[in-house]
A and B are shown apart, each in its own frame.
Chain A
Amino acid sequence: MHGMYLTRREFWTAIHGMVLGAAFLILFTGVLAGLWMLKGNRLTEAGARMCACCTAIGAWGMALLAWAAVFVGTYMIYPWYRGGPPGTYPKALLLANPRTAQWHEFGMEWKEHIAWLAPILATAVAYSITRLGSGVTNHPKIRRALMMLLTVSFFCAAVAGLFGAMINKAAPIR
Chain B
Amino acid sequence: MNESNQTPSSADSATATGPVWAAILAAAFGCAVLGVLTFFIEISVRMAKLMTFIKPAGNLSGVTTLTMLVWIISWILLHRCWKTRSTKLGGLVLSMSLLLILIGVLGTFPPFIDWLGRK
Residues of B bordering A, CB below 8 Å: 15, 17, 19-21, 23-24, 26-27, 30-31, 34, 38, 42, 54, 56-58, 60-61, 63-64, 67-68, 71, 90-91, 94, 97-98, 101, 104-105, 107-111
CB distance A142 to B90 under 8 Å?
yes
CB distance A113 to B27 under 8 Å?
no
Residues of A bordering B, CB below 8 Å: 70, 74-75, 78-79, 82-83, 105-106, 109-110, 112-114, 116-117, 120-121, 123-124, 127-128, 131-132, 135, 139, 141-142, 144-146, 148-149, 152, 156
Partner of A116, one of B58, B64, B91: B64
Tell me the interface secondary structure of chain A in the complex: helix
CB distance A112 to B94 under 8 Å?
no
Measured CB to CB, the nearest residue on chain A to B98 is A148
Contacts of B110 in A (CB 8 A): 105-106, 109-110
Which of A74, A78, A124, A127: most chain B Cβ within 10 A? A124
- Top 8 A-B pairs, shortest CB-CB distance: A79-B56, A124-B27, A113-B108, A128-B20, A124-B23, A114-B108, A141-B90, A113-B38
